[in-house]
Amino acid sequence: MMGVGKSSVGREAARLLGWPCLDNDDQVRELAGMASPEIATSQGVEALHRFERDALDAVLAHPGPIVASAAGSVVDDVAWRRQSGQDILVVWLRARPETLLARVGAGADRRAVARSAAWTEVTLARREPAFAAVADIVLDVDELSVDGCAAALVKIVGRDGRRRRSNGVAGHRR
């Protein structure tokens, strides 16, 4: 979800692992020639979601190991969900709606809708089953700093890219 920390945590985890980091926002900007909020405003949300999916497809074609972020909207694409387990480890950075809203804040670089409690709660509730279905690892980030979250991911994933926890869940819902 927007505001969970995908970009920040991804960059720090990649630094700790010594792997490249491919961020969805950067990939979308490269493909579209403009940032996500601009795409949503000028071309519509569906166009933005197509760019987000195309960005993820480009990232998945990149040789690994890498750390990459994906827009939350990609789980709305059933076809992608069917292929998501192919040679990738999917980590769901999970946060409560109030955490997401606090992190998005006034967010000049965020779509206005993401600053809405109603949108955040409805979208999160709708996407949670899909996030759970594709996630190999769930990491609750509400109480973690960026550094803490990245360190937890590195510990779980390990330097060799293999999961170290058999159940794939780090943290729990409060």
Whether the bond between 65 and the residue before it is cis, its omega within 30 degrees of 0, is yes
Domain parsing of the chain, residue ranges: 6-170
- The second-level CATH assignment, the architecture, of 6-170 is 3-Layer(aba) Sandwich (3.40)
Place of tokens 């769930």: 138
Bridge partners of residue 68, in order along the sequence: 22
Contact indicator for 18, 110 with CB cutoff of 8 Å: no
Q: pTM for this one?
A: 0.81
Q: Which residue has the higher pLDDT, 18 or 64?
A: 18
Neighbours of 138 (CB within 10 A): 19
Q: What would the pLDDT profile of 74-108 be if each residue is shown by its tens digit?
A: 888 776 666 655 678 889 999 999 998 888 865 55
State which H helix or E strand residue 96 sits in: none
Q: What would the pLDDT profile of 21-49 be if each residue is shown by its tens digit?
A: 999 989 999 999 998 889 988 999 899 99
Contact indicator for 9, 149 with CB cutoff of 8 Å: yes
| Residue 13 identity | A
